[in-house]
A and B are shown apart, each in its own frame.
Chain A
Amino acid sequence: MIKLYTFLKYFFITFWTVFVVAPFLWAVSTSFKDFQSVNSKVTYIPWLDFEPTLEGWRVLIKSPAKGGVDIVEPYFNSIFVTCTASLISIVLGTLAAYALSRFTFKAGFVRNNDITFFFISQRIMPPIVLSIPFFIFLSTIGLLDSLLGLVVVYIVLLMPIAVWIMVDFFNRVPKELDETALIDGCNPYQAFYKVVLPNSIPGLIVAGMFCIIFGWIDFFFAFILTFTEVQLLPVKVVALNSSITPWWSLSASALVSVAPLIIVAFIVERYLSKGNLSGALK
């Protein structure tokens, strides 16, 4: 019985790993192929089946005039928009979450939980509902087709995630920790940044990671709210067409666009396993 269980366990783990990793490896190998190796016959192993070339990657940084696709500018646009919006969302979201976790708000029938739900409900709503209001809003204030406009919209999308994660996190930080800081001579602001914040690093990292992921992969708003002036990476990559752009460049651009998320995951993984808070409360 146990043997069967172990067998099934490893079987599914292997199956799933292959399922996830295979397309990825396929894209990696395709990105180094040339016309011959893609179109003539099926090839797998570099140097044995085909001679690897960097042509697919070179196309990415060439300007369209020279037959390239130039994803450099959209790439930096995406980095700028995602990082700025994530940072602002984390700062505002953490402050909001701390307030929601520690103070009691009453306004009519509205209580803390209702406010928290209000934030989360922004994510429950299908994005398409927001597209027209956002479009009109940005065009009214003249930020349509601009980086700043996208940052504003992305803050609306990302802050609920930050609030949600951080409220949950702060609720698990014992209130006595803040109180001890107050007793030890901190005013409420000092208690927050000298004691609560340093102990919230795991939570901040998780929240930051989610913000970056959701910001980076958003296609819908980047597509609706920009035209010609500004382009973000997902829009640019989707716009590439296999009848014009060769397969090897498509593979390379796909890899380049997921790379930041993979790097983020590797950096964050270390912090997540640390468990900094275990000593605060038995």
Chain B
Amino acid sequence: MKLSTEEVIERVSILDIPQALKDALVAGLTGQEMTEAQLQEIMDQVVSDYGHSRVEPCEAVGVVAAQSIGEPGTQMTMRTFHYAGVAEINVTLGLPRLIEIVDARKIPSTPTMTLRLAEGYAHDRDLAREVAWAIESTSLLHLGSLATDLAEMNVIIELNSDAMTQRKITAEEVAERLREETGLSVDQRSNTLVMAPEESSYRELLQLVEKIKKISLKGIEGIKRVVIRKEGDEYILYTEGSSLRKVMQFDGVDPTRTKTNNINEIGEVLGIEAARNAIINEATDTLREQGLTVDVRHIMLVADIMTVDGEVKQIGRHGVSGEKASVLARAAFEVTVNHILDAAVRGDVDDLKGVTENVIVGQPIQLGTGDVKLIAKR
């Protein structure tokens, strides 16, 4: 007999195997000449082989994952900085980045976002540039020059009208923003702004200059730079600094494809499952960039354990390792004395269920064959 795709799908769908395997089976069986008995045998064989390929119960998957990520980690560069491609955005890569990911740092050392643009913006260079200017934090130095007049004890700001039209801001708006931020009066004469500090001292004047240099007049605060790059036939924005929640509201940005390398921020804005995906993607990309291939299952295990409690927690003293039930296992990791001391004060009991504590006391560990107890019937 010959089975159509629909019939094969129907037969295969009830099997207890992953979707990827089902799809492969459907592709392989469709249109093949076979008897009912042969079809049944093929399916039985696939199910049985899949069962054999799975991890055995009591296998130490955590240790295997740790070694499989740790060994290539020894070959990674210690060099922190790297320029991502031709765009002059600085991103941390290599071992420091991997450590940053598993430590679940609140803010990465070089936060950056990758923004895809919405339909209608993505293929137009001028529109892409407009979005970039709207997002980029604009300071006074982008718009003109600053000078201090020591005789008059004031700051003179000369605004460049070309720069202002480009960034779509007027001299009035600049004056207004400066008034808001400093609380001082701003004397505006067309493109020249004059400000004076409250007290006319030399120190106050210099402090005022420093302060107004830092004021973000337009765009998202913290987005220091936006670089446009063409990938394929699409313009993509790379930013220095990250603010996912704000950037997703900008016109022209496709909110469903925005990315950041700040995993905690993803957890807050998009949820724990997105954070888990981010950990997997960031770790895989970091390793791949160094020319190392680690099976994604090891990284998935790490991401799963980091996000199992509903929030991103680090692998380490303040996270996964620090939450182990056993006192001896925690003491074997870091800050030994504190853990043993606290346990003694509280009168903790160690159940000796884990690996580390059983190694310490010299007993067989409860993993693999060590987990099997023999029960004899007399």
Q: Do A and B come from one complex?
A: no
B binding-site residues for A, Cβ under 8 Å: none
